[in-house]
Structure 1
Amino acid sequence: MRPLRYAINVTLDGCVHHEAGVAPDEELMGFWTAEMQRADAALYGRTTYEMMQSAWRRPESGVWPDWMDEWEIPFAEAIDRIPKHVVSSTLGAVDWNADLVRGDLGAAVRALKAQPGEGLSVGGVTLPLALTELGLIDEYTFVVHPVLAGHGPRLLDGLSERVRLELVERREFASGAVAQRYRAAAMRDVDGGES
C-alpha cells in the first residue's frame, strides 16, 4: 500500500494560506521539488487544484512564463507531469493530467492508496483535514516559516480529536524555515499493543 503524505508551508502562528508570506526561496523550492518527485500522484481539492493549475501548468506555447525563475522550473515540470486526483462535487470535468474523485471520500482514497507505487501527495487545507479525520494520512511534513501572519486559515483547524505524531526527520534552511517530517503514531490500546 502506498503512503499518503501531506506537506505544507505554515507560519509560526499556524497559518497556511498561500499569501501568508511563506513563498519559498531557491533552497526551499529544491526541497518542494524533491517532495513532489517522491509521489506517483497528487490528491487535491477543487480550490488547491485550481490554484496549482493557474500557477504551475505548462503554457500551451511550451515556454514557462517570464515571472518564473530558473530554479522554479524543476518544480513546475514535476507538478505538471504528475497524475492528479481532484476531489470535487462542483467541477464537471478536469484536465491537466487529472481525474475527478467523487462519492465516498474514504473508500476512494483507500482505493488510490491500494494501487502500487511510491506514494501519494496531498495538498491544501480542507481536504487534508477530512483525510486526517479519516485516519488516512501516513506522513505529515510541515515547513514552519519564521513569520507571524495573524490571519488566514490555520493548519488542520477544527480537528475533532488529537492525533499523535512521531518526528522522523528535521531540516533547517538558511531562511530560518524548518521542515519537520512526522509519521502518524500507532495507537496503543490499554494492554500496550498497537491498534
Structure 2
Amino acid sequence: MRTLRYAIGVSLDGCVHHEAGVAPDEELMRFWTDEIARADAQIYGRVTYEMMQGAWLRPDDGVWPEWMDAWEVPFAETLDAAKKHVVSSTLPCVDWNAELVRGDVVEAVRALKAEPGGALSVGGVTLPTALANAGLIDEYLFAVHPLVAGHGPRLLDGLHERLHLDLVERREFGSGAVAQLYRRRAAG
C-alpha cells in the first residue's frame, strides 16, 4: 500500500491559506521542492490545482515570469513535471501532467494507494480533511510558521474524530518555521 502524506504550511493559529502569510523563503522553498520530488504524484482538489497551476505552470514560451526569483525555479520545475491527480466534479478536463478523478473521492484515493508505486502527497484544505476523516492519510507534514494570521481556512477544520499521531521528524529553519512530520498511530 502506498503512503499518503498531507503536507502544508500553517500559521501558529492553524491558518493554512497561502494569503495568511505562510509563503516560504529560499530555505523553505528548497524543502518544499524536495517534498514534491519525494512523491510519485500529487493529489489536489480543484481549488488547489487551479491555484498551483496559475502560479507554477511553465509558460508556453518556456520562460519563467519576472516575478519568480531564481531560487523558486527549481520548485516550479519540479512541480511542473510532477504527476498530478485532480479531484473535481466540475472541471471538464485537466492538463499539466494531471488526471481527473471523479466519483467517490474516498474510493478513488483508496484505489490510488493500492496501485504499485511510491508515495503520494495531498495538498489543500478541504480534500485532506475528507481523506483524514476516511483514515486514508498516513503522514502529516506541517511547516509551522512563527506568525498568527488571525484569519483564513484552518488546518483540518471539520475533522470528525481525533487523530492520534506520533512525531517522527522535526526540522527547524532560519526563518523560525519548524517542519514537523507525524505518522498516524496504529489503532490499539
Structure 1 counterpart SS, 2:20: coil
Give the C-alpha shift of residue 78 in structure 1. Answer: 0.8
Gaps of 5+ in 1: 189-195
After TM superposition, the structure 1 = structure 2 runs for residues 4-153 of structure 1, keeping only pairs within 5 Å, are: 4-153=4-153
- Which whole-Å deviations, capped at 9, do the CAs of 1:99-125 have from their partners, x for residues lacking one? 110111121111111122221110000
Please name the residue that 1:158 is paired with: 158
Deviates more, 1:145-154 or 1:101-110: 101-110
Structure 1 counterpart SS, 2:121: strand
Task: State the alpha-carbon separation in 2 of the partners of residues 183 and 33 from structure 1.
Answer: 21
Give the C-alpha shift of residue 187 in structure 1. Answer: 1.1
Q: TM-score, normalised by structure 2?
A: 0.98
Task: State the alpha-carbon separation in 1 of the partners of residues 13 and 111 from structure 2.
Answer: 35
Gaps of 5+ in 2: none
Task: State the alpha-carbon separation in 2 of the partners of residues 87 and 126 from structure 1.
Answer: 11
Pairwise CA RMSD of aligned residues? 0.7
- Which whole-Å deviations, capped at 9, do the CAs of 1:75-113 have from their partners, x for residues lacking one? 111110111110001111111111110111121111111
Deviates more, 1:109-118 or 1:74-83: 109-118
Task: State the alpha-carbon separation in 1 of the partners of residues 121 and 66 from structure 2.
Answer: 28
Give the C-alpha shift of residue 3 in structure 1. Answer: 0.5
The amino acid across from 1:183 in the alignment is R
Query: How many residues of Structure 1 are paired with residues of Structure 2 in the alignment?
Result: 188
Please name the residue that 2:183 is paired with: 183
The amino acid across from 1:19 in the alignment is E
- Which whole-Å deviations, capped at 9, do the CAs of 1:35-92 have from their partners, x for residues lacking one? 0010111100000000000000000001111111111111111110111110001111
Task: State the alpha-carbon separation in 2 of the partners of residues 119 and 74 from structure 1.
Answer: 20
Task: State the alpha-carbon separation in 2 of the partners of residues 166 and 158 from structure 1.
Answer: 21
Task: State the alpha-carbon separation in 2 of the partners of residues 2 and 76 from structure 1.
Answer: 25
Structure 1 counterpart SS, 2:179: strand
Determine which structure has more spread, i.e. the larger CA radius of gyration. Answer: 1
Task: State the alpha-carbon separation in 2 of the partners of residues 58 and 71 from structure 1.
Answer: 15
Task: State the alpha-carbon separation in 1 of the partners of residues 149 and 59 from structure 2.
Answer: 32
Please name the residue that 2:169 is paired with: 169
Task: State the alpha-carbon separation in 2 of the partners of residues 74 and 113 from structure 1.
Answer: 27
Task: State the alpha-carbon separation in 1 of the partners of residues 112 and 89 from structure 2.
Answer: 18
Give the C-alpha shift of residue 134 in structure 1. Answer: 0.4
Identity of aligned residues (%): 74
The amino acid across from 1:48 in the alignment is T
